[in-house]
Structure 1
Amino acid sequence: MRIIKNLPIIIICMVSLACSKEDSTGTDDQVETGKPLNLAPSTPVLISPEKDLECSNSSLNFEWETSIDPENELVKYFLEISEKEDFSNLFKNLETSYTSVSIELEKGKKYYWRVVAHDEKFKQSEYSEIRTFFTEPKLAFNAIPQNPHSEIPQNNSVQSASQIDLNWSCEDEDGDLLTYDVYFGLNNPPQKYLENIENPEVSVSLETGKTYYWYIVAKDPKDARATSPTWKFETQ
């Protein structure tokens, strides 16, 4: 009779022990199988070509900012170029560990481009914004200016002066008078510093111990445009 009276208590104790064991096992399994969460790299930020650019050269330089991986893993990029806005048919799908690459393009086309980053475990970032650009059409009445070339200072050089002149050169097959927008500053990409200047030279003041970035947009009277690569130099 005593056993029968204590039977409910015994059953409750057995159920409690079983639950405790299951809970403990579940926790142990989570500890044993738990792995650090792999986070995706930051979304690439496009630099050049700028949006709606009309480019004159069949070879165009594509550039974007470095993506940061939270686990400091090696980051690679996929550059996608397409004639379709939904990227259903890719003209180019290039994997690279660099943040700048030159691509040969077809004349008279409208292209869309974007970049996505992934880490060593192929954890993928969000896609960058989508930009469009146009290659020079096969028309004779107006040639787009050639891409500006840096003269002074040399790219990746070190400067010690507190003020220097930025010099560049640019040609137009039609002989049109060109004007220039100058992008210059401490950020990459730099902000617009001057616009619609006619002389391919501008004087800038510098601070010591800084890295400066700059590029040029050349424009003809019909507003056909060409953009240089982004150059940089350091001061000491």
Structure 2
Amino acid sequence: MKNIWALIILILFCSCSDEDTGENGNDTNNNITPNAPTLVTPGNGSTLTTQVADEEIYFEWNPSYDPDNDVVSYYIEVAYDSSFNSISSQLYSSVTYNTIYLYPNQVYYWRVKSKDSNFNISPFSQTWSFYLEDGLAPTIPQLIFPLDETECSNNDLTFYWNESTTQNGNSITYKLYISTTPDFSNGVDIYTTSNTEYNIQLTQSTAIYWKVEATNGTNSSFSEARSLYTQGNGTSNTMPQLDYIFPEDGMSTSSQSILLQWQAFDNETSSVNLTYKVYFSELGQELQLVDEGYAINTYTANGLNFNTTYQWSVWVTDEDGATNVGEVYTFNVDF
């Protein structure tokens, strides 16, 4: 009889010894954890453009599957880094979407996990990223001239860049930043203009760094930064003088071939010993070196496209290394 009671007590003890397993992916009372959500939008690697001020960004993901049909809620994280050390936003959601306000001109990373009504938490979804572009800001100015790492004998220099555009139609102004340090941390001068060019008397024998920003009340991102070096005055050498002959700046032609013409002279160097570099491209593209050599004063541009604007520049250097960096001229090819 004692053995029978001992067996009954042992059975009761074993049946009561199962423990609940708790949260964070463990089953509670044999309840199964939901699977991880799958992300829908914003798409991985996508670029979103804001259309209005203070616009909220829409996030969506597919629902988690819960084998026990428990009520499932979600937790979404949005961060500035893929390790989620710098969280921008985090919130709970009862549905498979949410809207969050984010600052533009920034890469974001996002992920979602789910939790059922028994507090079982799924793993995080995969991590996706997207770039949020400010649609109200002007487009980034594209630098034209001078080219990067230019060495200039003439310190009277005109800087050129492409026109920015904006969706709201507001007028655009530009800020030209000139600095003596590549990170623009010291000696920064800022010039404001509504044009896409600006002339400056630069300090001689100085390394210069420059970039441009557009604004219509909202600032664009900065353009790339370029460098140039201004030479000092020689003791007995003058810079070559350069004149453009044809085509005139802003001229229109209907020909798909055009002869660029210029002339130069120098007090200390014979004209046959002057060297030239000719730069040419479509407007909006970076100037390309298309010809160079001694005593050249023409260049034929063939195969031009109708309804297209082109730009060109000539550099002339004397025997002592003094270089006159010519201005950028444009012409139109009309149909």
TM-score (norm 1): 0.72
The question of 1:130 aligning with 2:228 is answered: no
Equivalent of 1:159 in 235, 245, 253: 253
Query: Which residue in the other structure is 1:182 paired with?
Result: 278
Name structure 2 gaps, 5 residues minimum: 1-100, 102-133
Q: Which has the higher contact order (CA 8 A, sep 6+)?
A: 1
Q: Say whether the 8 Å CA contact 2:278–2:291 is kept in structure 1.
A: yes
Q: What is the rounded CA distance, in whole Å, between the counterparts of 1:145 and 1:228 in structure 2?
A: 11
The question of 1:235 aligning with 2:330 is answered: no
Q: Which amino acid aligns with 2:225?
A: I
Looking at CA atoms only, which structure, 1 or 2, has the larger radius of gyration? 2
The alpha carbon displacement at 1:190 in A equals: 3.5
Q: Say whether the 8 Å CA contact 2:264–2:316 is kept in structure 1.
A: yes
SS at match of 1:103: strand
Equivalent residues in 2 for 1:196-215, closer than 5 Å: 196=293, 198-205=295-302, 206-215=304-313
Q: What is the rounded CA distance, in whole Å, between the counterparts of 2:307 and 2:163 in structure 1?
A: 22
Equivalent residues in 2 for 1:100-179, closer than 5 Å: 100-119=197-216, 121=217, 123-140=218-235, 144-146=239-241, 148-175=242-269, 177-179=273-275
Equivalent residues in 2 for 1:56-95, closer than 5 Å: 56-90=153-187, 92-95=189-192
Q: Which amino acid aligns with 2:313?
A: Y
**CA offsets 1:115-146 (integer angstroms, 9 cap, x no match):** 11111x2x211111221212221333665544
The alpha carbon displacement at 1:77 in A equals: 1.0
Q: Which amino acid aligns with 1:150?
A: Y
Name structure 1 gaps, 5 residues minimum: 1-29, 31-36
Q: What stretches of structure 1 move > 4 A for 4+ residues in a row?
A: 141-144, 221-224
Q: Give identity over the alignment, percent.
A: 31
The alpha carbon displacement at 1:90 in A equals: 3.4
Q: What is the rounded CA distance, in whole Å, between the counterparts of 2:142 and 2:277 in structure 1?
A: 21
Q: State the number of aligned residues.
A: 200
The alpha carbon displacement at 1:191 in A equals: 2.5
Q: What is the rounded CA distance, in whole Å, between the counterparts of 1:175 and 1:137 in structure 2?
A: 19
Q: What is the rounded CA distance, in whole Å, between the counterparts of 2:237 and 2:188 in structure 1?
A: 27
Q: Say whether the 8 Å CA contact 1:53–1:226 is kept in structure 2.
A: no
SS at match of 2:265: coil
